[in-house]
C-alpha cells in the first residue's frame, strides 16, 4: 500500500467508527489523491475536529510517510 491508500483506509475506519455523515463518507471514498482527501477534510472539518478522529490524529500522523505529510501540507492542511 502507498501512503495515500493507508490514509484512505484510516479515514474509512474512522468514518465507520463514529458513523460519519453519508455525504462526507461518500466524498472520502471518491477521493483519488491526497489533495482531494484534504478537500473532503476541509469540507467536514467540524466533524473531524470534534470526533474521536481528532484524538487519534497524533498517532495517525506519526505513522504516515514524509511524502504524504508533504502532500497534505501542499494541500494547505497542516497536522502535527
Full 3-state SS string of the chain: CCHHHHHHHHHHHHHHHHCCCHHHHHHHHHCCCHHHHHHHHHHCHHHHHCCHHHHHHHHHHHHCCHHHHHHHHHCCCCCC
Per-residue pLDDT band for 80 (boundaries 50, 70, 90) equals low
What does pTM read for this prediction? 0.76
What is the reported pLDDT for 1? 46
Lookup result for grid cell 498517532? 59
What is the reported pLDDT for 12? 87
* Mean pLDDT computed over every residue of the chain: 81
Residue 28 sits at the vertex; the CA angle it makes with 70 and 73, to the nearest 5 degrees, is 15
Amino acid at each position: 500500500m502507498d501512503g495515500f491508500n493507508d490514509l484512505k483506509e484510516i479515514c474509512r475506519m474512522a468514518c465507520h467508527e463514529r458513523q460519519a455523515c453519508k455525504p462526507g463518507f461518500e466524498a472520502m471514498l471518491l477521493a483519488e489523491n491526497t489533495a482531494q482527501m484534504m478537500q473532503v477534510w476541509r469540507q467536514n472539518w467540524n466533524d473531524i475536529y470534534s470526533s474521536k478522529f481528532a484524538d487519534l490524529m497524533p498517532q495517525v500522523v506519526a505513522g504516515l510517510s514524509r511524502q504524504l505529510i508533504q502532500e497534505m501540507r501542499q494541500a494547505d492542511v497542516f497536522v502535527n
